[in-house]
Structure 1
Amino acid sequence: MNKIFGTTKDLFTWIFLMVLFCYGAMAQAVYEDERYVPETDPLVLEKLEEWQDFKFGLLMHWGPYSQWGVVASWTLCPEEYSWCERTKGSAPHDYSEYKEEYQNLKKTFNPLKFNPEKWAKAAKDAGMKYVVFTTKHHDGFSMFDSKYTDYKITDAESPFSSHPKANITKAIFDSFRKEGLWAGAYFSKPDWNAPSYWDPYYPPRDRNVNYEPEAHPEKWQEYVDFTHNQILELLTDYGKVDILWLDGGWVAKTPKTQITSWYDGQLKNNDNGYIKHRIINQDIKMDELVVKAREKQPGLIVVDRAVHGKNQNYLTPENRVPEKPLPYPWESCIVAGDGWSYRFNSNYISGREAIHTLADIVAKGGNLLLNIGPTPQGEWDEGAYKLLDQIGNWMGINSEAIYGTRSIAPYKHDNICITSKKDGTVYLIYLVEEGQTNLPSSIDFMGFIPSKKAKASLLGFNSKIKLTPKEGGLNLKIPESITEKLLEKEAFVIKIK
């Protein structure tokens, strides 16, 4: 046992993490089955339809915490210590000192190699169609020039404040829009730096506000105003914003009879063994905010993550792919490296894994939002560029099987995903496994029966594919002359028209 786990403590840690994972998977599955509240605004519906055609976007978690290589914000939260242990700083076991050192990271955060134009080009070349950037995470540090806080990248205490691109959010949005991508603003509803959320008089107990809002209505209203003002800043001074991606689902109007799931913040009945959190009514007045937001940005897609209701225009399964298609707009946010924010010596998923994940998600009707955490210097690891380059090479040939498609039964058969277009064109995406050495000359795909006049072709090749309908599906004959070339691919696509 010691050879595998090192110590008994390591074994118990592993078991604890597996239990958390199982709880999380269970919570997420219930979350995905919940009733979706459709949008009624015609401008939003039009944008949602276009967004569903995009299929592939970029998420970036970035802030002063990247200097320590820790998961964004979470080491500040006392209740998360079991999975997010404090190891950085001069006194990680003294919470007060740790928090002070963490907040002082803004005084050393100086990403002089920040080059958003390079990021935008790499994202475009990979086939991404939109970016969602962390304008503010739970720690409250604003990566934009907010006039409502000094805890921001443009504050005089920040060495980067004199840089021409000090307003990082603006520089990113401008650069990505120039490459034709949509701009999305990630914004954390909880703010652990704001005294109107974590009142310095009280010690923080967990991720929630550390006082009772209903007992201190004036203080809570101060926080509501602060949050609305910052969001409206982003929607006023930063050009066209297409998506408002709100995190921190526990900040919501909360029925007293329910609890909050640890996994995604969604309200859950406590009948499945979920880990409990304090229940606090944190009514952030989202309905009012959305009205004001769409006055600034008509048609704005709003994603009030994990809060059931009309302000969650699409749902966001986190770091996983649903087992089945979901009957509403959705997007899986997946990490490309070892964590949401920058981690030293991070290992990135392979191009093959990313392409297979993209195909699986798209076949089930969703979008892939792939996360990359920039370095403290303002760069991406070479592993990130290599990954996007591999995806881009594949998309350059096969993107028509991805963009503008919708799910169609049976979604996936064995290692073949299926997508379709509105004109009736169908695509079979054959996922080539790592190390696969043989490819059958005859491939059966069950569950989809083409018309008698259907013709099959192979994207990127001139070779003919013989298609023969059979009971319950179809058969495809692959020319032996190209099987070796196909095995060199991460995946290949058969188009049926």
Structure 2
Amino acid sequence: MKRSILLVALVAMQLCSFAQAIYEDERYVPETDPLASAKIKQWQGLKFGLLMHWGTYSQWGIVESWQLCPEDEGWCQRTAGKNTHSYFDYKKEYEGLKNTFNPSKFDPNLWAKAAKDAGMRYVVFTTKHHDGFCMFDSKYTNYKVTDKDCPFSANPKANIAKEVFSAFRNQGLWAGAYFSKPDWHCESYWDPYYPPFDRNVNYDPEAYPEKWNKYVEFTHNQILELLSDYGKIDILWLDGGWVAKKKSEDIAAAYKGMAAEAKSGFLKHRIVNQDIKMDELVVKARQKQPGLIVVDRAVHGKNQNYLTPENRVPEKSLPYPWESCIIAGGGWSYVPNAKFMSGREGIQLLVDIVAKGGNLLLNIAPGPDGTWPDGAYNLLKEYGSWMKVNSQAIYNTNAVAPFKEGNICLTQKPDGKTYFIYMAKEGERELPAEIHVTSHQPASGAKVMLLGYKGNLSWKKDGAGFRISIPAKLRKNPPCSYAWCFEVSKLK
């Protein structure tokens, strides 16, 4: 028994290490297309974006798509509907949610305005998740929001993705299309002749190449639809990293390395070669949208223009473009009565990520009626108030070592202006009398300012660092809450 417990613990540690390595190794392949490379640099300066998971599943308030996946994982447990005891009856009932989806209060202009006011610079919207339901008017499937059997199809705003992209572009934000490479509704991915085994295709693509090629063509066609008929798309954000080309020796090595996990019940899905012809797709995609940023998530190679650690923040600065996608409240998809992070948590999360050189993609999930919860708007208002004072310490900044010193984060502009951002403790509403920095020192004659306050602050050298004195009147009346940004005009 002790040996079994030890084995489980060791395997769990290996899995955590493996997950960490996915995002924090240095195998990033830089983009060679000059337009895309330049756009990635621009994207790195945007710093703050919005992710939205939305689909028919919002009617049940469940995790998006995953309850269709027959794996023994917590997020796959069937928790809604009448037919939870029977997988195939459940799948039929789930897919029947199309016939009741009617978000009559949908108004993306409200979301776009709130996002802009919060300081967000781009949006990534779920055009299709793993369940295959299209939030756009695809001509390659009837499983879509514009199908006549979906009551929302009669609404003038029925082509939801087009409405979302248009509204956000009108507010000056970049448009990003989330698209799932696996499609659990499509019969050339989950062939109805076979039961699904796990998240993967339920037949061997190498044994049935014609069927697999049909799926590849279907996937390419839908993506090219989005890149042809929906205005300017800046980011193609692909999910479902298990759908990727894998060599036989890579599969063998992966299974050998994961043998312990399989024996211990940790391996819940197979490793299958699913060559979706990404190189070919990217060429076609950039013919439609020159300079397009492509994010083939969790697939090592040239088509992953930036990496996306999910619902966590790396412990250190990473040596390549990256973005943490984080749930603002509830889950990735709509959850009734979701509790959202506080203003302090949200703002300090943004500062921490930016100080490490990353971007924050904050997820907000619309409800079945097409509205955001009040908690989402309240959080974005907190961001907006803070960004009005401090945005210059966020946008177009770079990471500068040591990135964080105690509760002080650092960012730096290309012109050398450096920001020391003091992160307030819980309940701390007044500035301290003195800010002590040990890692850097201003150049002789440099100016030190507090963003939102007119006038320079006095400072003095202290060893290799410096100390900033805060006047009593300013201490009691800081220009913002949660994090205070001190600008140094030039470092030594």
Same fold judged by TM-score > 0.5?
yes
Give the aligned residue type for 2:38. E
Q: Please name the residue that 2:435 is paired with.
A: 443
> 2:63 touches 2:75 (CA, 8 Å); kept in 1?
no
> 2:447 touches 2:456 (CA, 8 Å); kept in 1?
no
Residues 422/464 of structure 1: CA separation in 2 closer, same or farther (3 Å cut): same
> 1:61 touches 1:340 (CA, 8 Å); kept in 2?
yes
Decide which of 82, 91, 113 is 1:121's aligned counterpart: 113
Q: Which moved more, 1:134-143 or 1:17-26?
A: 17-26
Q: Please name the residue that 1:479 is paired with.
A: 471
Report the CA distance between 1:487 and its aligned residue: 9.5
Report the CA distance between 1:469 and its aligned residue: 2.7
Say whether residues 1:380 and 2:355 are aligned partners: no
Q: Separation in 2 of the partners of 1:392 and 1:406?
A: 21
Say whether residues 1:201 and 2:193 are aligned partners: yes
Residues 267/490 of structure 1: CA separation in 2 closer, same or farther (3 Å cut): farther
Q: Which moved more, 1:450-459 or 1:315-324?
A: 450-459
Report the CA distance between 1:481 and its aligned residue: 1.8
Say whether residues 1:28 and 2:19 are aligned partners: yes
Say whether residues 1:90 and 2:82 are aligned partners: yes
> 1:115 touches 1:378 (CA, 8 Å); kept in 2?
yes
Report the CA distance between 1:464 and its aligned residue: 3.4
Residues 207/34 of structure 1: CA separation in 2 closer, same or farther (3 Å cut): farther
SS in 1 for 2:51: strand
Give the aligned residue type for 1:300. L
Write out aligned runs for 1:260-409 (5 A): 270=258, 275-276=266-267, 277-409=269-401
SS in 2 for 1:97: helix
Write out aligned runs for 1:36-47 (5 A): 36-47=28-39
Write out aligned runs for 1:419-438 (5 A): 419-436=411-428
> 2:386 touches 2:480 (CA, 8 Å); kept in 1?
no
Say whether residues 1:55 and 2:47 are aligned partners: yes
Residues 80/339 of structure 1: CA separation in 2 closer, same or farther (3 Å cut): farther
Report the CA distance between 1:465 and its aligned residue: 1.6
Report the CA distance between 1:449 and its aligned residue: 2.6
Q: Separation in 2 of the partners of 1:244 and 1:260?
A: 31
Give the aligned residue type for 1:188. S
Q: Separation in 2 of the partners of 1:347 and 1:100?
A: 31
Q: Which moved more, 1:358-367 or 1:85-94?
A: 85-94
Residues 101/294 of structure 1: CA separation in 2 closer, same or farther (3 Å cut): same
Give the aligned residue type for 1:30. A
Report the CA distance between 1:482 and its aligned residue: 1.7
Q: Separation in 2 of the partners of 1:73 and 1:358?
A: 28
Report the CA distance between 1:462 and its aligned residue: 2.2
Report the CA distance between 1:488 and its aligned residue: 6.7
Q: Separation in 1 of the partners of 2:240 and 2:434?
A: 50
Unpaired runs of 5+ in structure 1? 1-16
- Note the alpha carbon deviations across 1:234-280, whole angstroms, 9 max, x for none: 0000000000000000000013344699xxxx999549959433121
Residues 186/157 of structure 1: CA separation in 2 closer, same or farther (3 Å cut): same
SS in 2 for 1:406: coil
Report the CA distance between 1:296 and its aligned residue: 0.2
> 2:137 touches 2:159 (CA, 8 Å); kept in 1?
yes
Q: Separation in 2 of the partners of 1:24 and 1:74?
A: 21
Report the CA distance between 1:478 and its aligned residue: 1.4
Alignment: residue pair count: 477
> 1:74 touches 1:80 (CA, 8 Å); kept in 2?
no
Write out aligned runs for 1:122-271 (5 A): 122-258=114-250, 270=258
Q: Separation in 1 of the partners of 2:61 and 2:124?
A: 21
Give the aligned residue type for 1:27. F
Report the CA distance between 1:19 and its aligned residue: 9.9
Q: Please name the residue that 2:61 is paired with.
A: 69
Report the CA distance between 1:283 and its aligned residue: 0.2
Residues 423/18 of structure 1: CA separation in 2 closer, same or farther (3 Å cut): farther
Q: Separation in 1 of the partners of 2:252 and 2:463?
A: 48
Q: Which moved more, 1:288-297 or 1:76-85?
A: 76-85
SS in 1 for 2:111: helix
Give the aligned residue type for 2:462. K
Residues 308/433 of structure 1: CA separation in 2 closer, same or farther (3 Å cut): same
Q: Separation in 1 of the partners of 2:45 and 2:142?
A: 39
Report the CA distance between 1:61 and its aligned residue: 0.1
RMSD: 2.2
Unpaired runs of 5+ in structure 2? 1-7
> 1:66 touches 1:342 (CA, 8 Å); kept in 2?
yes
Q: Separation in 1 of the partners of 2:124 and 2:157?
A: 18
Q: Separation in 1 of the partners of 2:13 and 2:119?
A: 33
Give the aligned residue type for 1:249. G
Say whether residues 1:457 and 2:449 are aligned partners: yes
Q: Separation in 2 of the partners of 1:258 and 1:319?
A: 28
Q: Please name the residue that 1:494 is paired with.
A: 486
Q: Separation in 2 of the partners of 1:126 and 1:254?
A: 41
Give the aligned residue type for 2:474. I
Report the CA distance between 1:93 and its aligned residue: 1.7
Q: Separation in 2 of the partners of 1:272 and 1:390?
A: 47
Q: Separation in 2 of the partners of 1:20 and 1:368?
A: 31
Q: Separation in 1 of the partners of 2:195 and 2:349?
A: 42
Q: Which moved more, 1:424-433 or 1:295-304?
A: 424-433
Q: Separation in 1 of the partners of 2:103 and 2:15?
A: 35
- Note the alpha carbon deviations across 1:298-319, whole angstroms, 9 max, x for none: 0000000000000000000000
Identity of aligned residues (%): 61
Q: Separation in 1 of the partners of 2:287 and 2:407?
A: 46
> 2:430 touches 2:478 (CA, 8 Å); kept in 1?
no
Q: Separation in 1 of the partners of 2:300 and 2:66?
A: 24
Q: Please name the residue that 2:4 is paired with.
A: none
Residues 24/157 of structure 1: CA separation in 2 closer, same or farther (3 Å cut): farther
Report the CA distance between 1:486 and its aligned residue: 3.2
So what's the TM-score if we normalise by structure 2? 0.93
> 1:28 touches 1:317 (CA, 8 Å); kept in 2?
no
> 1:251 touches 1:282 (CA, 8 Å); kept in 2?
yes
> 1:189 touches 1:246 (CA, 8 Å); kept in 2?
yes
Q: Separation in 2 of the partners of 1:267 and 1:427?
A: 47
Report the CA distance between 1:18 and its aligned residue: 11
Q: Which moved more, 1:314-323 or 1:478-487?
A: 478-487
